[in-house]
Amino acid sequence: MGHHTATDGEPITGRYTLERTIGAGAAAVVYEGRDLAFDRAVAVKVYREGASAFARVQHSREIAALAKLRHANLVTLYDGGTETGPDGRTYLVTDFVNGPTLAERLSEGPLAAQEVRDLAAGLAAALAHVHAHGFIHRDVKPANILLEGGRIPRLVDFGIAKALDSTVATATGVVAGTAAYLAPEQVRGESVGPATDVYALGLVLLEALTGQREYPGTAIESSTARLHRRAVVPVGLPWNLTGLLESMTDPDPAQRPTAAAAAAALDAAAEPTSAHTRDRAPAVVAVTAVLLLSCLVGGAALVLANSGANSGANSGANSGPATPSSASATGTLKPTPPDDVVITPSLARPESAVPAVRTQDGGRAGQAP
């Protein structure tokens, strides 16, 4: 690989300028750049001189995966390859996402429940797309999630992505992934699949809610801790996030929901016919019934009053017409506080707010414990 750096001022292939460093790892550096051909901002990953053979494999894997994927919550591949010549640089170009990583955002504190629900829906949909196209990401973590505009999640870094039908095995004794977000089957050295990504996403969402990693410590401490205890999910979360996160972090891969099922459940929970809307419906019906009853009673009173007046005139009675009775609600309907203001069982939506989701083995998950 070549000896060029970002300060050389030489665009990659004469087309992509390197303007500032936005990320760096052992094998590559990521720059914000500019596509001179289309005058647009891009992200350019340039592999370091002397990068290992494994890094070159990562580069090939990332291009192979991104070339087949196109989703609102993923980055889009624009270009990739190696420049010609003895000093040719190996590079990968994607759209530029203007925003922090989720890891950077969480350094400021946990997210509100509404933000986590939106984050979960977007990332679950992205993983469902990845899995449907025959890939698993294997490294879902806050540092690999960009927040476009500080809000819209975009999953990045497919360097260790694996094709589901791949026969290429990871080197003996090497676990691909980041220790804090590994699934139990990864730690045990067993085969991985879509459920592995779902588990990692569950841990990411849990961290977003609590502001803390579920399994902290050294790589060994973190990776082995999940073999001895399940993830602890806060109770009483809205939209049945409690039940969903418990199922996503189930130690048994077969008991986890698919990414598509998780996304569908979260989307259903966001529909207008949610528990919040249904909870208000009886009150509205009750007020309507009272008003209707008021009208009926008033009408009946008027009829009786007229009848009484006529009979009173004949009998010389002094009684006046009856005043129609008035009925109204005893209180004003007030909007229920947003679910993400205070998370308590009293404000949490009923568990039925999220439909049960199908797990990998056809069972049911997403239910309250």
β-sheet bridge partners, residue 257: 359
309-344 confidence digits (pLDDT tens)? 444 444 444 444 444 444 433 333 333 333 333 223
Based on the residue annotation, tell me whether 139 is a catalytic residue of this protein: yes
* 252 contacts: CB under 8 Å, gap ≥ 6: none
Mean pLDDT of 93-116: 96
Q: Is pLDDT at 347 greater than 60 in this prediction?
A: no
What is the domain partition of the chain in residue ranges? 13-95, 102-163+177-270
- In the 8-state DSSP scheme, what is residue 240? G
CATH code matching the domain that covers 13-95, chosen among 3.20.10.10, 3.30.200.20, 1.10.3470.10, 3.10.20.30: 3.30.200.20
Q: Which residues of 146-170 are buried (b: 16+ CB within 10 A; e: fewer)?
A: bbbeeeebbbbbbbbbbeeeeeeeb
Q: Is 19 exposed, middle or buried, given 0-12, 13-18 or 19+ CB atoms closer than 10 A?
A: middle
pLDDT of residue 325: 40
Q: What is the mean pLDDT of the chain?
A: 77
Looking at the chain, the whole-number percentage of residues with pLDDT higher than 90 is 57
In the sheet with 40-47, reading across from the earlier edge strand, the strands are: 16-24, 28-35, 40-47, 90-95, 77-82
Q: Is pLDDT at 362 greater than 50 in this prediction?
A: no
- Check: CB of residue 366 under 8 Å from CB of residue 355: yes
Spatial distance between the Cα atoms of 77 and 105, rounded to a whole number of angstroms: 25
- The catalytically annotated residue of 35, 79, 118, 139 is 139
Mean pLDDT of 133-145: 96
pLDDT of residue 17: 97
What CATH topology corresponds to 102-163+177-270? Transferase(Phosphotransferase); domain 1 (1.10.510)
Q: Is pLDDT at 254 greater than 50 in this prediction?
A: yes
Looking at the chain, the whole-number percentage of residues with pLDDT higher than 70 is 67
Q: Which residue has the higher pLDDT, 71 or 350?
A: 71
Spatial distance between the Cα atoms of 369 and 82, rounded to a whole number of angstroms: 53
Is 37 in a helix, a strand, or coil?
Answer: coil
pTM listed for this prediction: 0.70
